[in-house]
Amino acid sequence: MSLTKSSDLRPFAMQLHYYKLFGMAVRSEVEFAEFTLLPPDERLTTTFPWVDVVYTDVPETLPDSFQVVDWIEATKTECLFHVAEKCRLLVSNGNRLSLDLYPGVDLKDVRPYLTTCGFATLAFQNQYLPLHVSAAETPKGVVLFAGPSGAGKSTLAVGLKEKLGWSLLGDDLAVCEIRSSAEDGIHGSCHFGVNKVKLWESASDALELDKTNLEQDFFRPYKYHIRVSEGRAFVPISDISAIVKLQWSDNDAGLIRSTKSVGFETVMNSIYPPYMAQLYLDLVSVRSKVLQLMSGLDAFTLYRTNATWSLDSTIDALNQHFG
């Protein structure tokens, strides 16, 4: 398949767009309506590492690379994604994301790959820890909600916002920058920046949302996107009070305090995508970062029964503890 030349796209990409997300300052030829803007006065003073997102030709293969999975190859400094019949995406050195669209492909068809593949890989290359979680700001601190796809993280986060007015800080991906020193102890930030939530149709029905005003997902027609107002682009690690694992149960539902070891396992299982961690973070570093993060967090498991699960009762259980 022939490539789209960068000269074909640059006339439409003369204007640069500036964003802050996932602990990075982004200078982009691609416009992202769902990203948090980086105001002009912050562009000169930001301490975030700069990342450039550009339309350009991307090579068909990387020299001296190894195959991660059948559509991803990588070296120690670069990662090349072959998105079938859509594009090639090259992530380089923690500071550059290069997009090569195939002829006739619309940008909206590859946006999910830019966020989940592109920026998650940039986070790993910058020695950050990307987590597949949603985050809400409660009266008792920021709470991270973890669990596999379909567990209800997004539904719950939107429900807490709609029912209790708790700010929705991030959905699907949060990036933790964790540091420690003998003088200051453990510190760092948890970064967000994507102001959009993806909900299954059943979830939008449970929340009584008007689907005519929602954007339908391109890949999954029974999923919808809801825009949310910009919250804090990042929070100090010290502001995070708990991680809550969402889990279905055949028994009684409820919020149960878990051990630190369960919390550690929950965070480890939330690293996203897991196969990328081994490329840019060694196991000792990963374990150290997770242990440091968990040192200041309480861990809980939120059990819900398939037969009787109610969003309202789940929200009530969380409100009783974190409200």
The tokens describing 68, both together, are 């991660």
Q: For 122-129, what is the mean pLDDT?
A: 96
Residue 320 burial (CB < 10 Å; 0-12/13-18/19+)? exposed
Q: For 126-134, what is the mean pLDDT?
A: 95
The tokens describing 264, both together, are 């550690």
**For residue range 223-274, what is the model confidence (pLDDT) as tens digits?**
777 777 766 789 999 999 999 999 987 777 789 999 999 999 999 999 998 8
pLDDT of residue 186: 75
Residue 182 burial (CB < 10 Å; 0-12/13-18/19+)? exposed
pLDDT tier at 202 (50, 70, 90 boundaries)?
A: confident
**For residue range 3-16, what is the model confidence (pLDDT) as tens digits?**
444 445 544 546 89
Considering the segment(s) 129-322 as one domain, its CATH architecture is 3-Layer(aba) Sandwich (3.40)
Task: Look at residues 104, 97, 103, 100 and name the one whose alpha carbon lies nearest to residue 19.
Answer: 97
Quick check: pTM over 0.85?
A: yes
Residue type, 298: D
pLDDT of residue 46: 95
pLDDT of residue 230: 67
Domain ranges of the chain: 6-125, 129-322
Sign of the C-alpha dihedral, residues 106, 112, 115, 117?
Answer: negative
